[in-house]
Amino acid sequence: MIDDVAKDFLHGRLKAVRETLVWKLDALSEYHIRRPLTATGTNLLGLVKHMATLEAWYFGEIFGRPFPEPLGRWQDADGSDLWVAPDETHEQIIGFYQRAWKHADATIGELPIEAPGQVPWWPQPDVTLFGVMIHVLQETTRHAGHADILREQLDGRTGLRADHEQEFDPVAREAHRAKIELAAQVAAGDSGHAGQKGQRGLLGEGVPDPFQS
């Protein structure tokens, strides 16, 4: 009974965070969901593609239940699951993620929480469904957090769920940010520090400003 409660709880949290990750793409242009927003190229649609691939692997062959569509071999992983080529549509990527959910949900539903599996790329490859659920939930939550920051960087929108999203006052938000910036400068003994960029400046030079579109 305790095992069933634990599995249901983890599964419920995973379902909720999946939806949050996809929601972070809502109402953005093709360019903004794909563009690299960090020095390492992190981008919103790439995060979705990455998590789709990850779920298909972890809840597939790890438990002898291969995902029914072609997947790259983990041995050949080259980072291509972290960005989206021009000929891949966002509908295809989101559809892939949703099909990976369905396959993962079937694995979770049909196997006991202590079901054994093998993750060959882990130093200790012997795992259980419980351990893999924890791992995938951690990864999904981590990347949903990345997506939250990327989305805030683009147009200021934040939140966990669409139905809980609140409108923000950009003037009040900028004043709050400025207060924190000043506190940081004073603590560093450099309250007169010059050259600080505002939030929009973080988007980089020479790229379309989503605040103006």
Q: What is the pLDDT of residues 69-79, one digit of tens each?
A: 999 877 788 99
| CA atoms of 90 and 34, how far apart (whole Å) | 9
Q: Report the pLDDT averaged over residues 112-137.
A: 97
Burial class (CB in 10 A: 0-12, 13-18, 19+), 210: middle
Q: Which residues contact 17 (CB under 8 A, 6 or more apart)?
A: 137, 140, 141, 144
The DSSP call for residue 67 is -
Q: Are 90 and 45 in contact (CB under 8 A)?
A: yes
- d(Cα 24, Cα 33) in Å, to the nearest integer? 9
Residue 13 and residue 136 in contact, taking contact as beta carbons nearer than 8 Å: no
- Specify which residues 127 forms β-bridges with: 117
- Residue 1: which pLDDT band, with cuts at 50, 70 and 90? low
Q: What is the DSSP letter of 100?
A: H
**Beta-carbon contacts of residue 43 (< 8 Å; ≥ 6 apart):** 33, 34, 35, 36, 37, 82, 83, 84, 150
Q: What is the pLDDT of residues 136-175, one digit of tens each?
A: 999 999 999 999 999 999 999 998 888 888 889 999 999 9
pTM of the model: 0.86
pLDDT of 212 higher than 60: no
DSSP-derived secondary structure letter, 140: H
Domains and CATH numbers, the chain: 2-164 (1.20.120.450), 170-212 (no CATH)
Indicate if the pLDDT at residue 192 is higher than 60: no
